[in-house]
A and B are shown apart, each in its own frame.
Chain A
Amino acid sequence: MLAFIIQRLLQSVLVMLTVALIAFALFNYIGDPINNMVGQDTSVADRERLRQELGLNDNFVVQFARFAGRAVQGNFGLSYQQARPVGQIILEKMPATLELSFMAAALALLIGVPMGIYTGLHRHSWASQAMMAVSLIACHCRHF
C-alpha cells in the first residue's frame, strides 16, 4: 500500500512538471509580453531593458528552471497584468474554488453514490428510471 502511494505521488509530481512545462512553453508561443506591458511611446532601449530585467532574454531551459524552482517554493512571481503576486491572486480565489469543489464532492458522495447503488440493485424500477433521467439532464447542463 505504502509503495503504491509513493508511486502515485511520484507520478503526480511528473504530471505537474509536464503540465507546467506545457503551460510555460505555450506562453513562449503567444508572443512577446513586453508589447502588452508598455505604451507605444516607450523607447526601444527601455523595452530591451525591461526584457533583460524580466529574464526574457535567457534561454528556455533557464527560464523554465527558474519558474519551476520558484513555483515549488510557492512563489509564482508577479502578474504582468496586475503587478501583484500571483500567489496572492490564487489565494483570493481559493475560498470560492474550495467551496464549489467541496460542495460538488459532498453532493456526489451523499447523493450520487447512493443513487448509483440503488439503480444498480433495482435496475428496472420506476425510481431508477427517474434517477437516470434526472442525472442525464443534469449532465447536460452548461457548467457555469
Chain B
Amino acid sequence: MAASGGKCALSAMIVFAALAATAEAKTFRWANDGDPTTMDPDARSDLFVQSFDFNMYEPLVRRDRNLKLEPALATEWANVNPTTWRFKIRHGVTFHDGTPLSVEDVLFSFQRAVAPGSDLAAQLSAVKEVKKIGEDTVDFITDGPAPILPNYLATLAIMSKAWCEAHNTVTAATLKDEESYATRNGNGTGPFMLKDRQPMVRTVLVKNPKWWGLKDQPIDIDEVVFSRVENPATRVSALLSGDIDMIYNVPPQDIEHVEKNAVVKVWQTPELRTMFLGMDQSRDELLESSVKGKNPFKDKRVRRAFYQAIDEDAIASKVMRGFAHRTALMVGPGVNGYDPTIDKRFPYDPAAAKKLLAEAGYPDGFQVGFDCPNDRYVNDEAICQAVVAMLAKIGVKVNLLAQTKAKYFTKINAPGYQTSFYMLGWTPGPLDTLHMLSNLVQTRSADFREGAWNEGGYSNPAVDELIKKISVELDSEKRNELISQALTIVRDDFAYIPLHQQIVVWASRANVELAPLGTNDFQLRYVTLH
C-alpha cells in the first residue's frame, strides 16, 4: 500500500513535471563582445547590427541555411524585362503592432533606405524607381540590367509606413541632435519582437506568435536574452558554467579549451571573408620604400616573388590554428562565382621567389612599409608579423605598421590610398563575386564609384571589360563563365596575394541546435533547445 502510494505520488510528479515543462517558456541566452547598437535596420550596414535586427525585421527575399535566396515577404520574383524586377508581396502578413503589410510599406521602406541617414543607399544605387503595379505587386526599375538586385534586397528591411510616420522616423537617425524613435524601438514583421532594450547591456526579444512563417517553420524558443559581455574570458566561462547558452565569435585561443568540454558544442563554418595582401601598383614611386625612381610592384615578377615567399600553410596551421581555408581566389566557397576548379594556389617556394626578385633587379631585396590593422580581423597583427618574417627570408625588409582600424583605414583608403603594401579582408555583401571585382579589381574612377577599395590601384583593361559584362549579364551560366575568366586573370596577374578565408567559430551548450552561416549571420529562427 505504501509502495503504491509512493508510485502514485511519483507518477503524479512526472505528469506535473511534464506539464510544467510544456508550460514553461523556453529562454535562449546568448552573448557577444559588441552590442547591436541600433534597432533601426537602415542606420548601419554593420554585419552584427543587421544580423540582430533581421530577427525582427524582414526583407523581401532572405537567405536560407545554405545561403540560397528564398522567399520572405515576397513570394516570387522575376525579371519582366532586362531593367525591371517584379516582386509579388506575401498575403496575410502583419507587423508586430497588428497593421497589415501592404505594397505602400515596400515603397516607403525603399525610400527610407536611400534617404540621408541610411547607410544602405550605396547598395541600392542601381534602382532608379520603385513602382506599385497592383495591390500585391511591385516593380524595381534599374538603370541597366541588374542581375544581383535580389541579393541586395536581402538586406532591405520592410518597415511599416504608418508606424514610422506616427513616430516621426520616416528617415533613419542622422547624427543630429535628437534620437530617432526607431533606434530603441522596433516594429517589423519578423519571427521575434523587441521586448526590452537596454543599449550596451541587454536586449530581450520574444517570439512573434502571429509570424506568417510559423506553419512551415515553428519557432522553438519563446524568449531571447542577449547580453553584451566584453571580456572574452568572462564570455567563455559564462558559457561553460551554463549562465548563457551560446557565444558568438569564440576567441581562437579559447577554442581548444572550449572544445574539450563535453557540455559545450563548437560550431565551425568557413567565412565568406577573404584575407589578402595588396600592393601599390599605380604610383611611379612607392611612398614607403628604399627603391627610388621606380615602383617594384609594377613588375609582375616582384608580386609573384612576394606571393611565393609566403607560406600560407604555416599561417593557416600556426597563426590561425587550422581555422582557415587557404585560398587562391579573392572569393571563397559560398560566394556566387567561386570556382573550385581554378582555386589552386601557386606553391610556396622561397628559392624561386629569390630568383624572381634577382631577375627583376633586386638580388638583395629592398625595404617596404606594410600596413595592417590590429583590431579588425582574427589574429590580424599575428598574420602580418608572420608575413614580415617570411619576406625577410628572401631579403625583403618589411616595416610593419600595425594600428587600430580607425587609423589604419584612414591611411589606406580613398581618397589618399597612402600605402605601399597592406593586408585587408573583404566580404562581398551581396554574396556575389561582382561585388569583390567592382570594389577591389576594377580600375579606380575619379569619383571613386568604381574600384573604391582598389587600394593598390591595379588596372587591367581586359578585366574591366569582363566586369562590365558581368554586371549586366542576366543569364547566370554565361555570367559565371565570365566571372571565372576574370578571377583567373586576377590570380595569374598576381593582382593580389590571397591568403585564406577564416573560419567562423561559435560555441553553444550541447542542448542547442542552430544554423551556423558563413556570413556570420546568426538567425534566431533556426535555434532549438532540447
Asked if B184 is an interface residue, CB under 8 A from chain A, the answer is yes
- Contact check, A30 vs B404: say whether CB atoms are below 8 A apart: yes
A35 surroundings in chain B (CB, below 8 A) = 405-406, 409-410, 413
Asked if A110 is an interface residue, CB under 8 A from chain B, the answer is no
Query: Chain A interface: which size bin?
Result: 20 to 34
Q: How far is it, in angstroms, between the C-alpha of A31 and the C-alpha of B410 when the chains are bound?
A: 7
B407 surroundings in chain A (CB, below 8 A) = 30-32
A75 surroundings in chain B (CB, below 8 A) = 177
Q: Which residue on B lies nearest to A43, using beta carbons? A: B122
- Contact check, B183 vs A82: say whether CB atoms are below 8 A apart: yes
A54 surroundings in chain B (CB, below 8 A) = 175
B179 surroundings in chain A (CB, below 8 A) = 78, 83-85, 88
A48-69: contact bitstring with B at CB < 8 Å (1 yes, 0 no)?
A: 0010011000000000000000
- Contact check, A45 vs B119: say whether CB atoms are below 8 A apart: no
B96 surroundings in chain A (CB, below 8 A) = none
- Contact check, A45 vs B448: say whether CB atoms are below 8 A apart: yes
Which of B2-10, B42-50, B488-496 touches A? B42-50
Chain B interface, >50% SS class: loop
Q: How far is it, in angstroms, between the C-alpha of A80 and the C-alpha of B176 when the chains are bound?
A: 10
- Contact check, B447 vs A45: say whether CB atoms are below 8 A apart: yes
- Contact check, A39 vs B37: say whether CB atoms are below 8 A apart: no
Smallest CB–CB gap between A81 and chain B, Å?
5
Take A32-B406, A39-B45, A82-B199 as given contacts and tell me if A46 and B121 are in contact as well, using a CB distance cutoff of 8 Å: yes
Q: Count of A-B contacts with CB under 8 A?
A: 98
Asked if B453 is an interface residue, CB under 8 A from chain A, the answer is yes
Chain A interface, >50% SS class: loop
B426 surroundings in chain A (CB, below 8 A) = 40
B46 surroundings in chain A (CB, below 8 A) = 39
Q: How far is it, in angstroms, between the C-alpha of A75 and the C-alpha of B176 when the chains are bound?
A: 12
Asked if B180 is an interface residue, CB under 8 A from chain A, the answer is yes
Q: How far is it, in angstroms, between the C-alpha of A53 and the C-alpha of B46 when the chains are bound?
A: 21
Q: How far is it, in angstroms, between the C-alpha of A85 and the C-alpha of B199 when the chains are bound?
A: 12
Q: Which residue on A lies nearest to B414, using beta carbons? A: A44
B119 surroundings in chain A (CB, below 8 A) = 38-39, 42
Smallest CB–CB gap between B479 and chain A, Å?
21
Smallest CB–CB gap between A77 and chain B, Å?
7
Q: How far is it, in angstroms, between the C-alpha of A82 and the C-alpha of B173 when the chains are bound?
A: 10
Asked if A41 is an interface residue, CB under 8 A from chain B, the answer is yes
Smallest CB–CB gap between A134 and chain B, Å?
29
Q: Which residue on B lies nearest to A29, using beta carbons? A: B407
Q: How far is it, in angstroms, between the C-alpha of A28 and the C-alpha of B406 when the chains are bound?
A: 11
Identify the B interface with A (CB < 8 A). 35, 37-38, 40, 43-46, 119, 121-123, 173-180, 183-184, 199-200, 403-410, 413-415, 426-427, 429, 439, 447-449, 452-453
Given A32-B410, A50-B175, A84-B184, 14 more contacts at CB 8 Å?
A: A31-B406, A32-B406, A35-B406, A38-B44, A38-B45, A39-B44, A39-B45, A41-B429, A46-B122, A54-B175, A82-B183, A83-B43, A83-B183, A85-B179
Identify the A interface with B (CB < 8 A). 30-33, 35-46, 50, 53-54, 75, 77-78, 80-85, 88-89
